[in-house]
């Protein structure tokens, strides 16, 4: 038996290798694709035939084919196949034997390849007679027609397909691994038009994804018309930006019905997300009585987590939510309603008499259990409407209804625990699925390495992992840049959710991605880059200068740069760039601005690096703390690596601690004349990042006896808004010193005015600079 399994495994690998042989460049990769004899020519006389069950799907395909060729093919309704020159579609329950791949448990792999006759399975056979497309369900026919589109050249997408066109013989057997293959579109932080949402439904269908998770309510905007509460869209859909301008928009019920119908035709299920109890400022701005304080607030115009949430003690909150959800359920046929459940600060509930009374009356332990009470009540209500809930993994913390599903975002652990507890799970960990993150943290290869199945689960538990989702949060992504964030990464997600791990090979996948750029362009997708286009390798030379070498990360990229020495605050970049192909040497503080282009597109993220080959650079440091594993900023010697941080605190050059001070000593190696010590600090109160309250610098000749040079109080208030870089600089008459010490004092827990009062605050530093 063991040998039999091994044989099957090799057979599988052989079939799979054939499938990747480059015959047709299909994404996601079909389960098996075997070249066969014969060539079929599509010409003006080709007949398109379909049976009743799949008529709508075939009509959609023929509509596309007519646009592609400028011809007028019509669909002939029939169940019998002519003898030649045909494209024959048939969805039929008698094709039960067809589903693929076979029931094989791969050695060492828990992923049982099951014959569950799943909805998406289909088969394509092309020989000299014609094309035969069969499936059990019409969904399979829809997916087969997406494969057919990709078997024709990209020119077809721009209506330039010349007939006759020849297709090489092939047998494709295909079916999806996961049943839930999703994309979250956040249309709240930035509004996206009806046409744009429909374009994404088309793209999801084209790449065989089947869930649009539509994020419709947020702190920064309420986007769905609710008849019973008109202020939700009159007030809640609009915010006043920092510059005084108004921003917003919403979907009418007519818009939503149109979008839902459009998605149904493309086998995409729309799951609406109505966030509760947190992320609800826009609703509270419209109806202040929904909050604990009942005070008027504005629709938020900043990003973050806010303390005003729905009051869990007030019955009116539940009346409101039940009325809203009733209207939502009428609009969306999906079996799931997403209720959010993430990032709900409990501060207001702790201070609210009604919430505290609810805790006492319901014999709840604390505010966490009050959230469970809240979610359970909503879940029960939705169950009465024939719906199940799905929520972010936080809702698992207090226990949830048995048919509730979990979307795991804070890593895979929450999803794993949910699967063990018997809940269905959608995986979307920040590590692989957050497409609002730049390519520096999540590039195409990283997404492709994603496996939604965590280690250590039994086969039964694995069966609860129903799929995954990539999340397009839009704080920093207005509609105009969404394409560039989602593509080509969405192609990797589509393949990860469709195929089995042993089938995946990044290099072969990337070859196929390269053939899809022209197709994406024709599909009006303003795609971005697959990975950060160029990496800078910097090394210290023996004389203390920094040598920087550009390394291109993929073929076809060109890079150019400008270098500014001793940039001051008034510094502005020029428009003159020089080709960046050889190493450059940095001998004084400098800012390097570079840009990359690929297929006529400029890389969108700022490519700016600041270097400082100061006296303390590349010298050993002693730290009083462990840098945060999330923001190690270069590790133990990160504050002396000559790299300065950018305006993005996640750039990898900022080193952070939470809730403590930072004490750093640099050993210059020998006594030297110095005249200034400085450090830069990131300040972004919304992200719980505060500049130190004060920073003390000391010097020493022996590392034991210290002389305090200066203890500098922050000139900037703790409540300063926005993302700031705050320097603490001390310059003095030249002094001799071998050791320099910095003690940065944490601002203390987040202040009372903050949205997370009492929580430990972060400090972010990039470098201890000695001159």
Q: How far is the CB of 291 from Zn ion (least distance, A)?
A: 7
Measure Cα distances from 698 to 613, 616, 625, 666, 708 in Å: 21, 14, 18, 11, 4
Residue numbers 283-312 binding Zn ion by CB under 5 A = 292, 311
Q: How far is the CB of 320 from Zn ion (least distance, A)?
A: 13
Candidate residues 62, 325, 352, 737; the one interacting with Zn ion per rule CB under 5 A? 352
Q: How far is the CB of 370 from Zn ion (least distance, A)?
A: 9
Q: How far is the CB of 277 from Zn ion (least distance, A)?
A: 10
Nearer to Zn ion, 215 or 346 (CB): 346
To the nearest 10°, report the CA torsion of 640, 646, 651, 654: 40
Question: Which helix (H) or strand (E) covers residue 199, if one does?
Answer: helix 194-206
- C-alpha angle 124/128/131, rounded to 5°? 25
Residue numbers 56-85 binding Zn ion by CB under 5 A = none
Nearer to Zn ion, 351 or 624 (CB): 351
Query: Which among 281, 269, 395, 274 is positioned nearest to 324, based on CA atoms?
Result: 274
Per CB under 5 A, the segment of 188-196, 350-358, 360-368, 549-557 that binds Zn ion is 350-358
With tokens 């014999």, the residue in question is 363
Q: How far is the CB of 355 from Zn ion (least distance, A)?
A: 4
Interacting residues of 441 by C-beta distance below 8 A, sequence separation 6+:
650
| Sign of the dihedral through C-alpha 152, 153, 159, 160 | negative
| Sign of the dihedral through C-alpha 645, 649, 652, 654 | positive
Q: How far is the CB of 349 from Zn ion (least distance, A)?
A: 6
Q: How far is the CB of 371 from Zn ion (least distance, A)?
A: 12
Residue numbers 557-576 binding Zn ion by CB under 5 A = none
What is the distance, to the nearest Å, from the Cα of residue 263 to the centroid of all Cα atoms in its chain? Answer: 21
Nearer to Zn ion, 347 or 649 (CB): 347
The DSSP code sequence of 99-141 is -SS-SB--TT----B-----TT-EEEEE-SSEEEEEESSHHHH
Candidate residues 62, 125, 211, 355; the one interacting with Zn ion per rule CB under 5 A? 355
Nearer to Zn ion, 355 or 546 (CB): 355
Nearer to Zn ion, 355 or 744 (CB): 355
| Interaction of residue 370 with Zn ion, rule CB under 5 A | no
Q: CA-to-CA distance for 274 and 768, rounded, in angstroms? A: 46
Q: How far is the CB of 757 from Zn ion (least distance, A)?
A: 16
- C-alpha angle 139/504/424, rounded to 5°? 55
The DSSP code sequence of 502-554 is GG--HHHHHHHHHHHHHHHHHTT-----SS-SEEEEEEE-TTS-EEEEEEESS
Q: Is the peptide bond before 488 cis (omega within 30 degrees of 0)?
A: yes
Q: How far is the CB of 404 from Zn ion (least distance, A)?
A: 24
Nearer to Zn ion, 100 or 292 (CB): 292
Candidate residues 176, 182, 248, 313; the one interacting with Zn ion per rule CB under 5 A? 313
With tokens 């439904």, the residue in question is 201
Helix, strand, coil share of the chain (percent; to 5): 30, 30, 40
Nearer to Zn ion, 101 or 340 (CB): 340
Measure Cα distances from 763 to 521, 649, 656, 747 in Å: 43, 11, 5, 8
Q: How far is the CB of 350 from Zn ion (least distance, A)?
A: 9
Residue numbers 442-501 binding Zn ion by CB under 5 A = none
Q: How far is the CB of 25 from Zn ion (least distance, A)?
A: 56
Are 694 and 712 within 8 A, CB to CB?
yes
What is the distance, to the nearest Å, from the Cα of residue 58 to the centroid of all Cα atoms in its chain? Answer: 33
Nearer to Zn ion, 354 or 388 (CB): 354
Q: How far is the CB of 393 from Zn ion (least distance, A)?
A: 24
Interacting residues of 80 by C-beta distance below 8 A, sequence separation 6+:
none
Nearer to Zn ion, 66 or 356 (CB): 356
Nearer to Zn ion, 315 or 588 (CB): 315
Number of H helices, E strands in the chain: 18, 35
Per CB under 5 A, the segment of 313-321, 404-412, 422-430, 759-767 that binds Zn ion is 313-321
With tokens 């084919």, the residue in question is 65
Q: How far is the CB of 317 from Zn ion (least distance, A)?
A: 8
Nearer to Zn ion, 353 or 733 (CB): 353
HEC per residue, 412-439? CHHHHHHHHCCCCEEECCHHHHECCCCC
Nearer to Zn ion, 359 or 559 (CB): 359
Enter the tokens of residue 387.
């719906």
Per CB under 5 A, the segment of 349-357, 523-531, 557-565, 629-637 that binds Zn ion is 349-357
Nearer to Zn ion, 292 or 586 (CB): 292
Total interface residues for Zn ion by CB under 5 A? 6
Q: CA-to-CA distance for 259 and 268, rounded, in angstroms? A: 10
Q: How far is the CB of 280 from Zn ion (least distance, A)?
A: 12
Q: How far is the CB of 354 from Zn ion (least distance, A)?
A: 5
Are 426 and 390 within 8 A, CB to CB?
yes
Q: How far is the CB of 233 from Zn ion (least distance, A)?
A: 25
Residue ranges in 70-109 assigned as alpha helix (H): none
Please tell me what DSSP assigns to residue 224: B
Residue numbers 371-390 binding Zn ion by CB under 5 A = none
Per CB under 5 A, the segment of 354-362, 387-395, 499-507, 735-743 that binds Zn ion is 354-362
Measure Cα distances from 259 to 7, 120, 182, 332 in Å: 48, 22, 16, 10
Per CB under 5 A, the segment of 325-333, 347-355, 444-452, 527-535 that binds Zn ion is 347-355
Nearer to Zn ion, 353 or 568 (CB): 353
The DSSP code sequence of 571-631 is ----S--EE--S-EEE-SSEEEEEEEEETTEE--S-EEEEE---TTTTS-EEESSPPPSS-
Query: Which among 9, 167, 432, 156 is positioned nearest to 1, based on CA atoms?
Result: 9
Q: How far is the CB of 292 from Zn ion (least distance, A)?
A: 3
Nearer to Zn ion, 354 or 377 (CB): 354
Q: How far is the CB of 344 from Zn ion (least distance, A)?
A: 12
Query: Which among 246, 222, 218 is positioned nearest to 234, based on CA atoms?
Result: 222
Nearer to Zn ion, 259 or 355 (CB): 355
Nearer to Zn ion, 307 or 683 (CB): 307
Are 237 and 248 within 8 A, CB to CB?
yes
β-partners of residue 644 are: 610
Candidate residues 354, 476, 552, 601; the one interacting with Zn ion per rule CB under 5 A? 354
- C-alpha angle 172/155/167, rounded to 5°? 35
Nearer to Zn ion, 364 or 485 (CB): 364
Q: In the complex, which residues of this chain contact Zn ion (CB under 5 A)?
A: 292, 311, 313, 352, 354-355
């Amino acid at each position: 038996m063991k040998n039999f399994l091994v044989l099957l495994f090799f057979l599988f690998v052989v079939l799979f290798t054939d499938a990747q042989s480059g015959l047709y460049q299909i994404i996601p990769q079909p389960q098996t694709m075997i070249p066969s004899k014969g060539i079929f020519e599509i010409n003006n006389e080709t007949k398109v035939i379909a049976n009743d069950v799949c008529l709508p799907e075939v009509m959609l395909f023929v509509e596309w084919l007519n646009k592609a060729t400028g011809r007028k093919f019509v669909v002939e309704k029939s169940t019998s196949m002519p003898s030649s020159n045909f494209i024959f579609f048939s969805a039929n329950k008698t094709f039960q034997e067809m589903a693929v791949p076979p029931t094989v448990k791969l050695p060492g792999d828990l992923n049982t390849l099951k014959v569950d006759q799943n909805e998406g399975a289909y088969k394509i056979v092309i020989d000299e007679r014609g094309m035969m497309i069969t499936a059990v369900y019409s969904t399979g026919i829809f997916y087969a027609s997406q494969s057919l589109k990709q078997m024709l050249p990209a020119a077809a997408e721009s209506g330039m397909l010349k007939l006759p066109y020849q297709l090489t013989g092939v047998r494709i057997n295909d079916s999806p691994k996961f049943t839930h293959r999703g994309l979250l579109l956040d249309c709240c932080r930035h509004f996206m038009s009806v046409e744009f949402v429909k374009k994404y439904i088309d793209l999801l269908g084209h790449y065989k994804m089947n869930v649009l998770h539509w994020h419709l309510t947020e702190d920064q905007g309420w986007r769905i018309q609710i008849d019973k509460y008109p202020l939700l869209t009159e007030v809640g859909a609009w915010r006043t930006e920092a510059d005084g301008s108004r921003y917003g928009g919403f979907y009418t019920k007519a818009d939503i019905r149109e979008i839902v119908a459009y998605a149904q035709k493309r086998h995409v299920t729309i799951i609406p997300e109505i966030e509760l109890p947190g992320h609800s400022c826009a609703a509270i701005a419209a109806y202040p009585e929904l909050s604990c304080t009942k005070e008027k607030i504005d629709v938020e115009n900043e990003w973050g987590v806010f303390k005003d949430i729905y009051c869990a003690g007030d019955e009116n909150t539940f009346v409101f939510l039940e009325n809203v959800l009733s209207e939502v359920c009428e609009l969306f046929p999906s079996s799931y309603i997403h209720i959010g459940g993430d990032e709900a600060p409990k501060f207001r509930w702790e201070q609210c008499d009604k919430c505290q009374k609810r805790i006492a009356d319901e014999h709840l332990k604390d505010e966490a259990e009050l959230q469970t009470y809240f979610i359970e009540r909503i879940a029960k209500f939705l169950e009465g409407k024939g719906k199940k809930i799905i929520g972010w993994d936080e809702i698992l913390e207090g226990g949830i209804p048995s048919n509730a599903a979990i979307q795991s975002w804070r890593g895979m652990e929450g999803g794993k625990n949910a699967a063990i507890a018997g809940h269905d799970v959608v995986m979307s960990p920040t590590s692989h699925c957050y497409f609002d993150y730049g390519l520096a943290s999540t590039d195409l290869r990283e997404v492709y390495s994603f496996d939604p199945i965590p280690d250590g689960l039994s086969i039964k538990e694995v069966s609860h992992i129903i799929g995954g989702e990539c999340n397009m949060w839009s704080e920093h992504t207005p509609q105009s840049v969404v394409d560039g964030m989602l593509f080509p990464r969405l192609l990797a997600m589509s393949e990860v959710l469709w195929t089995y791990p042993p089938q995946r090979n990044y290099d072969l996948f990337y070859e196929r991605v390269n053939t899809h750029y022209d197709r994406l362009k024709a599909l009006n997708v303003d795609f971005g880059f697959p990975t950060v286009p160029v990496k800078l390798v910097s090394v210290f030379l023996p004389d203390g200068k920094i040598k920087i070498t550009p390394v291109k990360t993929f073929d076809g990229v060109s890079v150019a740069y400008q270098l500014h020495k001793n940039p001051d605050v008034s510094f502005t970049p020029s428009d003159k760039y020089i080709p960046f192909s050889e190493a450059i040497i940095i001998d004084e503080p400098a800012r390097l601005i570079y840009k990359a282009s690929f297929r006529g597109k400029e890389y969108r993220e700022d490519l700016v690096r600041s270097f400082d080959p100061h006296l303390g650079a590349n010298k050993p440091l002693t730290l009083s703390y462990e840098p945060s594993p999330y923001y190690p900023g270069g590790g133990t010697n990160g504050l002396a690596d000559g790299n300065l941080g950018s305006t993005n605190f996640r750039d990898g050059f900022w080193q952070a601690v939470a809730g403590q001070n930072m004490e750093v000593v640099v050993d210059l190696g020998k006594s030297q004349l110095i005249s200034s010590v400085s450090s830069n600090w990131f300040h972004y109160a919304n992200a719980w990042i505060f500049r130190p309250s004060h920073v003390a610098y000391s010097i020493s000749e022996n590392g034991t006896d210290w002389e305090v040079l200066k203890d500098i109080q922050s000139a900037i208030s703790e409540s300063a808004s926005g993302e700031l870089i705050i320097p603490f600089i001390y310059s003095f008459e030249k002094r001799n010193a071998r050791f320099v010490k910095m003690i940065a004092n944490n601002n203390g827990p987040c202040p009372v005015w903050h949205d997370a009062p009492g929580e430990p605050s972060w400090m972010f530093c990039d470098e201890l600079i000695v001159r």
